[in-house]
Amino acid sequence: MRYMTRCCWWISFFILATGASSSQTLREAADRSGMLVGTAVRPQQLSESLYATTLAREFNMIEPEDVMKWETIHPAPETFDFSQGDQLVAFAVSHQMKVRGHTLTWHQQNPKWLTGQQRTPEQLARILEQHIKTVVGHYRDKVSAWDVINEAFDETTPVKLRSTIWYDQPGIGYAGKGSRYMENCFRWAHAADPGALLFYNDVEAEAVNPKSDAIYAMVRDFRRRGVPIDGVGFQMHLGNPHPDVASISQNIGRFTALGVKVHITEMDVALPVDADGNAHSADLQLQAIAYRDVASACLAHTGCTAIQTWGFTDKYSWIGSHSKHTQGAALLFDREYRAKPAYEALRKMLESSRRR
Ligand code: G3I
């Protein structure tokens, strides 16, 4: 009896220390509700035991935060380096997780050999086609969904296509012709892996607004004309814990009504932090509500099939360096891998879902 008491105390201590609970994990709750719950991953952290065990226990999908971007995966004109991407895929395979690929076409994190030299549109088109077909071909049947295009619309009013190397600097041959240049990217990716789901992914388009209106018009046009697009990713980088949930739900609804899937692809909820990186407990509660409500908006539409966060521990998040450490604490686990109120709110929302 005395042994039992001590034993149970240790179990409780372990549960609190690791953030696990006797109820379902996030991953179990997602599996049972037929949802994907994913997170961005940095392969260099996989050797850290708590990082790897938390990742495998809590998520059924991973996405490389940086290592499938051009500068890493295509470091020289004739060189592809799949080593870090392969490491993530191997981790996913050994833990029965899906992989989202990110990203084939973006204006950031491109290598100098690509951006530092003048080329004709024909030359650039050949380079992009070779890149997309090589990368998607390498991960054929291993990466289940790709962000084919990332952030092609800018933040101006009225919304325009962003001026990029791919669109009009000099572009791949369709400068001034709207979203036409993106069609080729989707077709090249589809040719390399007809089984992969192909996504358009963007930031600040989660609610109904001019940017999501522009993306909506493009996706509707692509669907009508048979361009192989399967989904839209809403990044969901929230700068405060007060999302307009009604508008987010309405937006998800209109996109899924087009017959495409929606994935929440990069969610984090940045909070003000002190010099030690700590947030106020009241803000952590508001953050929990934000995660819960965004999940609820997704779960309300059967075409919204994935909720993914941009990292999972506050120990490793882009928010800190990006905000000069005035913001942080944006994710589901704290820097010691303890589950935060946001974790429990998201877990409970998934647990209560009756989608299956
Ligand atoms: O690779 C260098 C490394 O050699 C060097 O030692 C180190 C020193 O700081 O920097 C490394 O590069 C960093 C790179 O990530 C790879 O880790 C850059 O400094 C850093 O700025 C870069 O940040 C990434 C950012 O995209 C680039 O814009 C973040 O990790 C990544 O979280 C962020 O992710 C984007 C999504 O892809 C698209 N949506 C927005 C999201 C947040 O910005």
Mean pLDDT of 18-47: 88
Q: Verify whether ligand 1 is closer than 6 Å to residue 203 (CB atom).
A: yes
Rg (CA), the chain: 21
**Where are the chain's structural domains?**
24-352
Q: Verify whether ligand 1 is closer than 6 Å to residue 147 (CB atom).
A: no
Distance of CA 94 to the CA centre of its chain: 21
CB 124 within 8 A of CB 77: no
- State both tokens at 273: 């932090």
114-135: per-residue pLDDT in tens? Answer: 999 999 999 999 999 999 999 9
Residue 23: pLDDT band (50, 70, 90) is confident
Tell the CATH topology of 24-352. TIM Barrel (3.20.20)
CB 198 within 8 A of CB 149: no
Q: Verify whether ligand 1 is closer than 6 Å to residue 268 (CB atom).
A: no
Bridge partner residues of 98 (DSSP): 61
Q: Inform me whether the pLDDT recorded for 15 exceeds 60.
A: no
Mean pLDDT of 307-326: 97
Q: Verify whether ligand 1 is closer than 6 Å to residue 65 (CB atom).
A: yes
DSSP type of residue 167: T
First to last CA, the chain: 42
DSSP string for residues in 172-198: SS-TTSTTHHHHHHHHHHHHH-TTSEE
234-277: per-residue pLDDT in tens? Answer: 999 999 999 999 999 999 999 999 999 999 999 999 999 999 99
CB 207 within 8 A of CB 122: no
Residue 356: pLDDT band (50, 70, 90) is low
What pairing do the DSSP bridges indicate for beta strands 98-102 and 61-64? parallel
Q: How far is residue 64's CA from residue 44's CA, in Å, rounded to a whole number?
A: 11
Q: What is the pLDDT of residue 7?
A: 40
Residue 12: pLDDT band (50, 70, 90) is very low
Looking from the CA of residue 69, the nearest atom of ligand 1 is 37
- State both tokens at 97: 């997780």
Q: How far is residue 104's CA from residue 107's CA, in Å, rounded to a whole number?
A: 10
Q: Is the dihedral of CA 146, 231, 201, 60 positive or negative?
A: negative
- State both tokens at 230: 């399967």
Could you identify the residue written with the tokens 């046009």?
221
Q: What is the pLDDT of residue 9?
A: 38
What pairing do the DSSP bridges indicate for beta strands 327-328 and 197-202? unpaired
Helix (H, G, I), strand (E, B) or coil at 338: coil
Q: Annotated catalytic residue: which of 58, 63, 151, 206?
A: 151
Q: Inform me whether the pLDDT recorded for 100 exceeds 50.
A: yes
Q: Inform me whether the pLDDT recorded for 4 exceeds 80.
A: no
Residue 94, amino acid: S
CB 119 within 8 A of CB 170: yes
Q: What is the pLDDT of residue 18?
A: 43
What is the average pLDDT score of the chain?
94
**Residue 164: CA count within 13 A, CB half-sphere:** 24
Q: Verify whether ligand 1 is closer than 6 Å to residue 71 (CB atom).
A: no
Active-site residue 63, yes or no?
no
> Helices (H) and strands (E) in the chain — how many of each?
13, 11
Is the whole-model pTM more than 0.75?
yes
Looking from the CA of residue 235, the nearest atom of ligand 1 is 39
H/E element, 204: none
User: Ligand 1 atom 42: the closest Cα is on which residue?
Assistant: 318
Query: What are phi and psi for residue 254, nearest 5 degrees?
Result: -70, -30
Q: How far is residue 58's CA from residue 308's CA, in Å, rounded to a whole number?
A: 12
Active-site residue 28, yes or no?
no
**Residue 162: CA count within 13 A, CB half-sphere:** 19
Q: Verify whether ligand 1 is closer than 6 Å to residue 109 (CB atom).
A: yes
Q: How far is the CA of 2 from the centre of ligand 1 (A)?
A: 52
Q: How far is the CA of 248 from the centre of ligand 1 (A)?
A: 27
